Homo-oligomer: A and B are copies of this chain.
Amino acid sequence: MITGKNYIGNQLSASGSKTFKTFNPLLNIENQWEITEASKDEVHQAAELGAEAFKIYSKISGKKKAEFLRAIAYEIEALGDDLLQVYSSESGLPNGRAMGERGRTLGQLRAFANHIEEGNWVEASIDTAQPDRTPFPKVDLRKMNMPLGPVVVFGASNFPFAFSTAGGDTAAALAAGCPVIVKSHPMHAATGEMVSSAVIKAAEKTGMPNGVFSNLNSSGIEVGQQLVKHPKVKAVGFTGSIRGGRALYDLAAKREEPIPVFAEMGSVNPVIILPEALKNRAAAIAKTYSGSITLGTGQFCTNPGLIIGLKSEGLTNFVNILAKEIVTVEPSCMLHPNIVRAYEANKEKALSQKGLKVLANYDTEVQANYARQVVTTVEGDTFLNNLTLHHEVFGPFSIVVQCDNEQQLETIVSNLEGQLTGTVISDNNEITSYSGIINALQNRVGRIIFNGVPTGVEVCPSMLHGGPYPASTDSRFTAVGVDAIKRFVRPFSFQDWPNGLLPDELKNENPLGISRLVNNENTKAEI
């Protein structure tokens, strides 16, 4: 049952007076549930309760936290088809995607559970004492990662499961030992409440402290601002627009005690197609990219919004085939009328720029809230000199930049903003002739792809999902994969601390059997 209330720890609460409804973009009607926005008091309570819970939760063993994470996965699954239906009614995303994204979310929770149960992630490091060293004796030092404190997670519009309530940020923070306060995304508040009920049930069943998780509703920006400014909050996870992410970053940087904000934001995910590849397989590449540009109505953060090539017969060929292919894709529904409106406005703004030529435009009438894909071309010079064209148009929109020569291509790549991904399409060994371009690309991205598409973000330890600003506010961390846990910890040293009082990870006996750096040697041995 959906109550529209907030979870302040284990308690449903709706002391505020402001309410709102979510929207079904597919049916173009409001959903029935009345959602109550969190009041200032409730926001404060959630943060205070999180800080209280931290005292206990930060000390809970990896094994117990893993039980909690697995129980969350179990309880989400137990919500069954009801959850998938609410998801689709609030996002317009089809059942197959709902199932797939749920699977990914459960997989993430279980991957973090395995990660913290195994325990090596704390990066335990031990330097034993040398009391006889001269001129000064050496003290005993032992270091490991410790959780930061309560973390605020902002739900993402485009991933109602995988990057929202119990998504990657929440799983990473809970795994690290940090209580989580979710600022639920207003477009899928009911989905958020259902998932929250699963988290709370799991917390109660596995004996987690009250306040380890809270879920707050809001349709505006106040609740989020209040959370980021709250002195008990120690870090923030966000996935969304550059404007939104930067506003939170600025707010956090201005605090008396600044805190880290991990905002994963916009990216046009440049794709460079090299000449031989264009010459030999323009049609195949055009087909693949027609699919990647329109995948999920262009609403993936790794959507390829920028394709760059050297002027040639091959490029002309590619452009013509892409034009034909892209309009054969049936338009689909976007997440919300606001997102459709933003897409239309950003598209219009881009199209009004001098020198941008529409290559293909799906111009048949479509249902309300459906997005019509557009691909355009532009000259290298024009692109280089107009920063508006460098900005993401969130949706199925892509620009093909036609460069005069290699030097121009390298200059363009060097002048791009920071990106999540960069892709190189190359035949055989031709890539070896373009090292300047590849190096420039590497400098601007977090992940570089050979002969593939940027869409599709594998959840595994070697994934880096992030990148130089504005792809993310902190290129030093990933938002996807188990290393995302590193965002929410700090290393901590114990000096000459009594063995019995050390965390198990640092005790002489190594009771958890984890891998540790002991006097500069990796070992699982006792001391």
**CA A216 – CA B446 in complex, angstroms?**
32
Q: For A126, what are the chain B residues with a Cβ–Cβ distance below 8 Å?
A: 462
Task: List B contacts of A260 (CB < 8 A).
Answer: 474, 476
Stretch of A155-163, A372-380, A451-459 lying at the B interface = A451-459
Set of chain B residues within 8 Å of A438, measured between Cβ atoms: 501
The CA of A431 and the CA of B461, in the complex, are separated in Å by 40
Copies in the assembly, this chain? 2
CB-CB under 8 A for A490 and B462, given A439-B55, A495-B452, A496-B449? no
Task: Judge whether A498 and B431 touch: CB under 8 Å.
Answer: yes
User: Would A489 and B476 count as touching, CB distance under 8 A?
Assistant: yes
Q: Are A431 and B493 in contact (CB-based, < 8 A)?
A: no
Cβ of A327 within 8 Å of any chain B Cβ, yes or no, is: no
* Segment of A135-143, A192-200, A336-344, A347-355 in the binding face: A135-143
| Distance between Cα atoms of A84 and B494 in the complex (Å) | 34
Q: Are B456 and A136 in contact (CB under 8 A)?
A: yes
| Listed residue (A143, A257, A463, A476) with the most chain B CB atoms within 10 angstroms of its CB | A476
Q: Which residue of B lies closest to A491 (CB)?
A: B464
With an 8 Å Cβ cutoff, the count of chain A residues facing the other chain is: 67
Whether the Cβ atoms of A452 and B249 lie closer than 8 Å is no
Is A328's CB within 8 Å of the partner chain B? no
State whether B258 touches A461 (Cβ < 8 A).
no
Within 237-258 of A, Cβ neighbours of B (below 8 Å) are at: 249-250, 253-254, 257-258
Point out the residues of chain B lying under 8 angstroms from A470, CB to CB: 257
Binds B, one of A5-13, A36-44, A204-212, A514-522: A514-522
Is A492 in contact with B127, judged by CB distance below 8 angstroms? no
**A125 nearest in chain B by CB position:** B462
* Given contacts A260-B476, A431-B501, A458 and B141 within 8 Å (CB-CB): yes
Q: Does A432 sit within 8 A of B, measured CB to CB? A: yes
Q: Which residues of B contact A515 (CB under 8 A)?
A: 522
A94 within 8 A of B: no
Cα distance, A448 to B418, chains bound together (Å): 39
Name 5 A/B residue pairs within 8 A (Cβ), A-sorted: A127-B462, A141-B462, A432-B501, A450-B496, A515-B522
